[in-house]
Amino acid sequence: MTTFAFQGPTRGADRAVLLAHGAGTDCTAPALTVVTDALADAGIPSLRFNYPYRDEGRGRPDRPPVLFEGTRAAIAELAARTGLPTERLVVGGRSMGGRYCSMVVSAEVDPVPVLGLALLGYPLHAAGKPEKIRDEHFPRITVPTLFVSGTRDSLASVEGLTASATKIPAPVSWCWLETADHGFKPLKSSGRSLADDLATAAAATVAFVEGL
Which residues constitute the domain of residue 169?
4-211
Give the residue from 57, 127, 137 showing the smallest Cα distance to 99. 137
Mean pLDDT along residues 104-123: 98
φ, ψ for residue 166 (rounded to 5)?
-65, -15
What digits encode the pLDDT tens for the residues 66-85?
999 999 999 999 999 999 99
Residues found in the chain: 212
Domain CATH code at residue 181: 3.40.50.1820
Instruction: Compute the distance between CA of residue 26 and CA of residue 33 in angstroms, rounded to an integer.
Output: 11
**Domain count of the chain?**
1
Residue 89 has pLDDT above 80, yes or no: yes
| pTM across the whole model | 0.97
Give the residue from 4, 104, 119 showing the smallest Cα distance to 64. 104
